[in-house]
Structure 1
Amino acid sequence: MILFHYFRVFFGEAQVQHGYDSIWHRLGEHCWYSLIALVCAAVIALPLAFLTGHTGRGDAPIAGLAAVGRAMPSLGLLVLLAVKMGLNFQAVLIPLVALAVPPILLNTHEGIRGVDTATVDAARGMGMTPLQILLRVEIPAALPLILNGLRSASVQIVATATIAAVVSFGGFGRYVLDGLYEYDYAQVAGGALLVALLSIAVLGLFGVLSRTLVSPGVRRRVQ
């Protein structure tokens, strides 16, 4: 019951409804940080996964790289980068990208590697070039796993982007950090709830993308 009381107090405050510290302003900041990190991670991970998955090489290095990325402490890396680079956005971006690359890399690599070899051979027999096979056969067939990797990375980024507040940036983490500093637990609870709701919204968005982009035949085969 006390948690619901905190939520009622937080959402009833005038400062979160209007102005610089409003929920909508913090939402825009949080989404912007998350989108930049996701795009950077996708630019790094997708081409590499397409290459290794298409050629059938690099299973061990990909698995090792992904394991290192998953084990990396985001907050510790942020503090280290802030000390070395100063309080700039790169110090926030690098840990988020490092967190997001492994799920995109692994899922995309496994998706491309898992495409039926008979389908690939048939495309090759039709005279398709390796690039055409990748773009027209392998990527569409692996799209469910590719989207799964992007979805996992997005949710992790949204949840972890709260660390931006540690180095004086905004987002929903501002509520959590300021609330802890001021012993305002209603603000902490409200910020945490907003991050959870945004993560759920991201899951819903990727559910819509999956139903829209993945062909019914591929979706039935995956299910």
Structure 2
Amino acid sequence: MSIVELVIQWFSQATTWSGPESIPIRLAEHLLYSFLALAVAAVIAIPLGLYFGHLRKGEIFVLTTANSIRALPTLGLLTLVVIASGIGILPPLIALVVLAVPPMLVNAFEGVRAVDHTIVDAAKGVGMTSRSILWKVELPVALPLVLLGIRLAAIQVVSAATIAAYVGLGGLGRFIFDGMGRRDFGQVAGGSIIIAIVAIGIEVVFIALAALVTSPGITQRRVLGNLAFSNS
């Protein structure tokens, strides 16, 4: 049997779609792990990025921290956390949070730092406080880059959340690890396909969200800026 036939056979089985080890259950577990990791990472990374970007300081700290975290192997980190804390949801959650922090931190920092100084000076001129400038002026302008950082983190986390199965938890990674253990290559390939589809779906959702919440004025300004650059 070819791999395509094995995948079709696996998808056509009733147990693939119903029961405790079915696609809906594993998908719900996978999204839960991913959402928890993204939420924790966002609480840590985005405020830090906005703060340092607003001050126009801390570039070395932000970039060094992000690059250092990126250098950590996710599976190696997971193994170390398992050794330190034991089996459970905490080890994969920590590994996924670490994976999600760099793109959120860097994009929040660069998005706010790149806001035109003339806009900030105008806000100061009308008497706005530093906090008001950040939340009412800089953040709306930086929002596309902030959302891009969240989107990149979400794609990475959804793709990497398969490691939860490595320490005995659920999620779509169970199809890959269990399939390899049983030499069920249709299940392995099928699980991989589902994970890829979910990652693509997450990207589409965030692209639509960015288009929905970004101010038309900011979008128009970016388009005009690109046109000016292309004509220079």
* Range class of TM-score, shorter chain: over 0.9
1:69 Cα shift? 1.1
Partner of 1:23: 23
Equivalent position amino acid for 2:78 in 1? L
In the other structure, the counterpart of 1:103 is 103
Distance 2:69 2:220 in 1: 32
Distance 2:78 2:61 in 1: 25
Q: Which residue of 1 aligns with 2:88?
A: 88
Identical residues among aligned pairs (%):
44
Residue 221 of structure 1 deviates from its aligned partner by: 2.6
Verify: 1:63 aligned to 2:69, yes or no. no
User: Gaps (5+ residues) in structure 1?
Assistant: none
Number of the residue aligned with 1:220: 220
Give the drift of 1:220. Answer: 2.6
1:117-175 CA-to-partner distances (Å, cap 9, x unmatched) read 00000011011000000000000000010000000000000000000001110010000
Q: In 2, Cα distance between the equivalents of 1:105 and 1:26?
A: 30
Letter matched to residue 207 of structure 1: I
Cα offsets for 1:30-68 (capped at 9, x unmatched): 000000000000000011011100001100110000001
- Write the mapping of 1:56-205 to structure 2, written as runs, cut at 5 A: 56-205=56-205
Alpha-carbon offset, residue 10 of structure 1? 1.7
Q: Which amino acid aligns with 2:87?
A: L
| Matched-pair contact (CA < 8 Å) for 2:3–2:185 | no
AA matched with 1:143 = L
Superposition TM-score, scaled by structure 1 size: 0.98
- For each residue in 1:78-134, what CA deviation from the matched residue of structure 2 results, as whole angstroms up to 9, or x when unmatched? 111111111011111111000000000001100000000000000110110000000
Matches within 5 A, 1:34-45: 34-45=34-45
Question: CA separation in 2, counterparts of 1:201 and 1:61?
Answer: 33
> Secondary structure of the residue that 2:20 maps to in structure 1?
coil
Structure 2 distance, partners of 1:65, 1:139, is 22
The answer as to 2:208 corresponding to 1:211 is no
Q: Distance in 2 between matches of 1:3 and 1:60?
A: 48
Alpha-carbon distance between aligned partners in 1 of 2:4 and 2:27, rounded to the nearest angstrom:
21
Q: How far has the Cα of 1:2 moved from its partner?
A: 3.3
Kindly state the Cα deviation for residue 14 of structure 1 after the two structures are TM-superposed: 1.8
Matched residue, 2:230: none
Question: 2:228 aligns to what?
Answer: none
Deviating more after overlay: 80-89 vs 142-151? 80-89
Render the CA deviation track for 1:8-43: whole Å, top value 9, x for unaligned. 012112211111011101110000000000000000
Could you tell me which runs of 5 or more consecutive residues in structure 2 were left unpaired when the two chains were aligned: 224-232
